[in-house]
Amino acid sequence: MPHHEADANKISLVLELLTEHGFDRLAEAIQILLNEAMLIERSDYLNAAPYERAESRRGYANGFKPKRVASRVGELELRIPQVREAAEGGERFYPNALERGERGERALKLAIAEMYINGVSTRRVQRVTEELCGLKITSSQVSRATQLLDEEISSWRSRPIGACPYLVLDARYEKVRIGGSVVTAAVLVAMAVREDGKRSIVGVSVATSEAEVHWREFLQSLVLRGLHGVRLFTSDDHPGIKAALASVFPGVAWQRCQCHMQRNAQSYVSKIVMKKDVAEDLRSIFNAPTMADAEQIIKTVVVKYQDSEPRVAAWIEENIYEGLAVLQFPASHRRRLRTSNAVERLNKEIKRRTRVAGLFPNEAALLRLVTALAMEVSEDWEAGRQYLTMEQA
């Protein structure tokens, strides 16, 4: 049967499966298409169609290797085309269809593969490697895949930024091997609300701590990429962030995350039965429509706890105004600017992947994964609906 007729038959079979069975046979349909795509790719690689005699042929078809792949539509039974090279050396054939996929998944595979190659793998890591990658891992394969992904994410990390009225800063911690020791590295993240009202991850970095020097270098890198027009930063009250903001963005308003403040205040409550009351009183302050209203509520609350919970009263007097900068901005914007929860989705994606790896072989592997995930999340945000209606700003 001519090759184009075989292609047509495969497409007809896929259409028949989808027409008659819908989503119930989606996995089988994708399986057929992937197997066919890999056949086409092998022919392109060999520079010759099946059974074609050609002087430019660079190798020969050499059967298939079965491979089971767990996908989002179910398990796929794939037939990986094999190639017998015409000459030794050079890059070996492996279908791009299996190398492609979400950047985050690729970055995670590379991190685990690096662990395996660097001799720090366990039986568990080896099982995960085989399950995720489906082939024996070699240093050349990892090097090639790493180079391709790094080129992609490096360009994204250095892209111009522009004007962004609001920025949310956050950090989380992951385990990394550095110099033969396991250390806790900080993942620094900057999320912006742009002038068009959409969210974007404008920066990610990996540092050995949240010290001022690391936050300062991170913020300066954003300025060098064109960040300007910032009216408000939101973050927790880590001293490294506060000092760096004062140095790089003096005079720009800073909003202390109200969720962090609620948790922090609870540590000063001596009686468990009072915790709910304290939380509700803080909420009433944060929800005040104006600064004048907030100040009146603060006075009332401080008096309320002066005798029964003096540590709470003192904490409110000393800290509460750091959580009220958002009152300077449009009421419709406040709910989404008063906490650092806006980056929660990215943190969840990072945690879901890092839970599999457990330990990163180096800082570069961690940065690669975090950047890949940030790209995916940011691209969804930028293509989606407005986060804030900026005409009201």
Higher pLDDT, 332 or 362: 332
Side by side, the strands of the sheet bearing 166-178 are 199-207, 181-193, 166-178, 232-235, 253-256
Higher pLDDT, 133 or 153: 153
* 384: confidence class by pLDDT, cuts 50, 70, 90: confident
Q: Do 131 and 3 lie in a common domain? A: no
Q: Do 235 and 324 lie in a common domain? A: no
List the structure tokens of 233.
């930063």
Q: Do 253 and 267 lie in a common domain? A: no
Q: Burial level of 46, CB count in 10 A (0-12/13-18/19+)?
A: buried
Mean pLDDT of the residues in the chain? 81
Q: Do 224 and 368 lie in a common domain? A: yes
Q: What confidence score (pLDDT) does residue 356 get?
A: 65
Closest CA to 94 of 103, 81, 85: 81
Per residue in 255-293, pLDDT tens?
Answer: 999 999 999 999 999 999 999 999 999 999 999 999 999
Q: Do 132 and 207 lie in a common domain? A: yes
Q: Do 188 and 154 lie in a common domain? A: yes
- Between CA 164 and CA 122 the distance in angstroms is 45
Q: What confidence score (pLDDT) does residue 10 get?
A: 62
Q: Do 372 and 250 lie in a common domain? A: yes
Last residue of a domain, one of 316, 339, 362: 339
Q: Burial level of 101, CB count in 10 A (0-12/13-18/19+)?
A: exposed
Q: Do 73 and 200 lie in a common domain? A: no
Q: Do 267 and 286 lie in a common domain? A: yes
List the structure tokens of 35.
């197997």
Angle at 261 between CA 377 and CA 204, to 5 degrees: 30
Q: What's the Cα-to-Cα distance from 131 to each of 19, 123, 299, rounded to whole Å?
A: 32, 12, 60
- Between CA 248 and CA 132 the distance in angstroms is 43
- Give the percent of the chain with pLDDT over 70: 76
Per residue in 86-104, pLDDT tens?
Answer: 554 445 676 765 554 455 5
Pairing of strands 232-235, 199-207: unpaired
Q: Do 115 and 37 lie in a common domain? A: no
Q: Do 214 and 306 lie in a common domain? A: no
List the structure tokens of 249.
């963005």
Residue 154 has pLDDT above 80, yes or no: yes
Range of the domain at 17: 1-98
Phi and psi at residue 157, to the nearest 5°: -70, -20
Angle at 353 between CA 378 and CA 223, to 5 degrees: 35
- In the three-class reduction of DSSP (H, G, I as helix; E, B as strand; rest coil), residue 175 is classed as strand
- Between CA 11 and CA 42 the distance in angstroms is 19
- Between CA 186 and CA 172 the distance in angstroms is 6
Q: How many domains does the chain have?
A: 3
- Between CA 285 and CA 265 the distance in angstroms is 13
252, 245 Cβ separation under 8 angstroms: yes
175, 360 Cβ separation under 8 angstroms: yes
- Between CA 185 and CA 118 the distance in angstroms is 19
The model's pTM: 0.68
Taking each helix axis from N to C end, the angle separating 26-46 and 3-21, rounded to the nearest 10 degrees, works out to 160
Last residue of a domain, one of 339, 354, 381: 339
CA atoms within 13 A on the CB side of 48: 15
Per residue in 55-83, pLDDT tens?
Answer: 777 778 888 888 877 665 667 788 888 88
Q: Do 113 and 90 lie in a common domain? A: no
Higher pLDDT, 308 or 63: 308
Q: What confidence score (pLDDT) does residue 90 get?
A: 46
In sign, the C-alpha dihedral spanning 20, 26, 32, 37 is positive
